Structure 1
Amino acid sequence: MKELKDILFLDIETVSSGETYEELNERMKILWSRKASFLKKEEGLTEDEFYFQRAGIYAEFGKIVSIGIGFFHLEEEKRVLRLKALYDENEKALLERFSTILGKMKSDSLKLCAHNGREFDFPYLSRRMLINGISLPTALDLSGKKPWEINHIDTMDMWKFGDWKHYTSLDLLAAIFNIESSKTDMNGSDVNRVYYKDRNLGKIADYCLQDVAVTAQLYLKLKNITSEPFEVTVTPAN
């Protein structure tokens, strides 16, 4: 349990900064079109369709709508995974709340863990905080730190064992290790639609928490930590 107590497991869900390409100002339209010209592979998609499908994965053109967090602790000698969903239409308020949570933890020992976190979750969080005028908490501020001083854990990196040739999805690893999938009635490609069309941020937050739970279980498998059953509790959202 000792090696788990300072790890905060997390996942973020992101959407395009606006529902349509037309909502961008003229300067951002030009910059998106320039970026899209290098990315666009699907034929027949309009600028607006491509924006709706892909803008959310880029911090410059997207925003965070939900952050799921979880950590292990002992409760009456039983291991418990405690989960909490943060979500808000107001991205700045959401990020400030997350930053406050990080600020209450021991910054010198805190470790952040996410799947593909080094390439997505951690830099996306940092970029959106700066865009919103929020100072980076110690756990995300990499400036001047040596590689061994960065307390970030990435379960995808753990699985790669130094092999950088391909991406391995969380869902695939969950299947390999017989962990119940979080991809039930929605997956990552549905988030923009659920947010803008269905107007169901609560559903996105629930999906986000499921990914946190899967990541935590995957970490136990990758560290070969005893598979004794543990309880999962969800703290009321926000």
Structure 2
Amino acid sequence: MVSPPPRLARLAEVHDLPIGTACTAHAAIRQLRHGLDRNGEGYYDLVVGDASARIPAKIWGDSRAYGELARSGLETGAVVKLMFSVGEYRDAIQLTVSRIRGVVEGDEWSSEAIWGRGWELIQDLRCKTLVFDIETVPGVVLDAEDTPESVRKAVARAAERSAGELDALEAQTKAMSLSPYFGKIVSLAVGEGELDEDEDEDDDGDEGEGREGAVTALVVPPPGREDEEYPPWIRPMSEADLLRCFWHLADAAELVVSYNGRGFDVPFLQARSLIHGVPARVDLLSSPYSLRPHLDLFRLLSPGRGGTASTSLDVICWSLGITSPKGEMDGSLVAPTYARGEIETIAEYNVGDVRATARVYRHLREHLLPFRNDW
């Protein structure tokens, strides 16, 4: 009797196996594409992954897996059981899948093993095109006894550089809020960028409660408000969980969209993740002028080396005839608003920026991106 192939507990273990080794494993389908070879035979290119690794895979048209996948209706995001052999393509590991099916009762797998810690907090928010924005506040108490003098001096120098017309306290607050080492994230708004305009509009003014694709704010409640109830579009959590949620959503998305995300949001998220020991699962900073997997609309719309003032989000919205997110609230008011405990106000402001960014993305999706060779 032939023994079944061994089951891998972690997909990353394939990197330690000899080419040709047969195995089984549970994984999620992260990418899936059907194609035809030069003879007209079908095949599937896919990327499968769990919390430990993402690995390219191939399903050839003459394999049992090809028919199984075609009949199953499995799509990107589905958790599956695979039988495969370890192969190689262009000096990189590639799995050749011989059998595939969706998970069934009795299979030994867990959501945490497939997606990682924190996925359960936002699994219903998964987006094809993830549009996001963050809001930050000071995170260091400078007069605390355990704050080194070198840190106080560093903040003072940063505040002096950014002072302008601000008073000393305002300059210090701004400097700390803009640094991931002196600041922290208190709100992360996320939403689906592929909605039509009428789907994006919210007729009852309730930030899209209960609607598919609604913008959601993940927030870190101010001290004393951790145990309060919030509306469904606001999800309270720790900063570490907020970071885990962001990387999960970015990892699951086909495209990530931001406005100046390469210049501020992603470096801030990445540094805060390092501080909290949270894996930064997706590379959103390499190839700075690439449109995928991270489309930074600011980079796309900035005129050459011009300054940021001429291409701020509210200016772009005004120019394109899109409703601007800017009202009485602006970035300089986030820290004092958080100090007053008004996290809902910050979340509304954050959500407004994501709605506006999504509308700009859709405008470019129709009138610019299809005509670029790199899209």
TM-score by length of 2: 0.50
Q: Match of 2:134? A: 12
Give the unaligned 5+ runs of structure 1.
227-238
> How many positions carry a matched residue from both structures?
209
* Secondary structure, counterpart of 1:214 in structure 2: helix
Distance 2:258 2:355 in 1: 11
1:130 aligns with 2:252: no
Query: Is the radius of gyration larger for structure 1 or structure 2?
Result: 2
Distance 1:38 1:91 in 2: 28
1:28 aligns with 2:163: no
Query: What residue identity is the alignment partner of 2:156?
Result: S
Q: Match of 2:317? A: 174
CA contact (8 A) 1:72 1:82 kept: no
Structure in which a larger fraction of residues adopt helix: 1
Q: Match of 1:201? A: 343
Q: Match of 1:186? A: 329
Structure 1 residues 53-108: Cα deviation after superposition (integer angstroms, max 9, x where no partner): 33201212111001001114579xx86553111111432122123233344x15xx
* Secondary structure, counterpart of 1:119 in structure 2: helix
1:40 aligns with 2:176: no
1:223 aligns with 2:362: no
Q: Match of 2:241? A: 93
Query: What residue identity is the alignment partner of 1:34?
Result: R
CA contact (8 A) 1:7 1:71 kept: yes
State the Cα distance separating 1:186 from its structure 2 match. Answer: 0.8
Structure 1 residues 118-141: Cα deviation after superposition (integer angstroms, max 9, x where no partner): 101111111111111111112447
Distance 2:170 2:258 in 1: 29
CA contact (8 A) 2:313 2:357 kept: yes
Q: Match of 2:355? A: 213
Given the alignment, which residue of 135, 149, 160 partners 2:302? 160
Query: What residue identity is the alignment partner of 2:162?
Result: L
Distance 2:333 2:188 in 1: 16
Query: What residue identity is the alignment partner of 1:157?
Result: R
Distance 1:113 1:37 in 2: 33
Change (3 A) 1:148 1:174: closer
Distance 1:52 1:146 in 2: 29
* Secondary structure, counterpart of 1:118 in structure 2: helix
Distance 2:250 2:294 in 1: 14
Query: What residue identity is the alignment partner of 1:133?
Result: G
Query: What residue identity is the alignment partner of 1:52?
Result: T
Distance 2:266 2:338 in 1: 22
Q: Match of 1:112? A: 256
State the Cα distance separating 1:166 from its structure 2 match. Answer: 1.5
CA contact (8 A) 1:87 1:94 kept: yes
Give the unaligned 5+ runs of structure 2.
1-126, 201-212, 222-237, 369-375
Distance 2:351 2:334 in 1: 14
Distance 2:288 2:299 in 1: 18
CA contact (8 A) 1:21 1:52 kept: no
Q: Match of 1:233? A: none
Give runs of ≥4 in structure 1 deviating > 6 Å: none
Distance 1:159 1:141 in 2: 18
- Higher RCO (CA-CA < 8 Å; seq separation 6+): 1
Change (3 A) 1:160 1:17: same
1:67 aligns with 2:179: no
CA contact (8 A) 2:131 2:193 kept: no
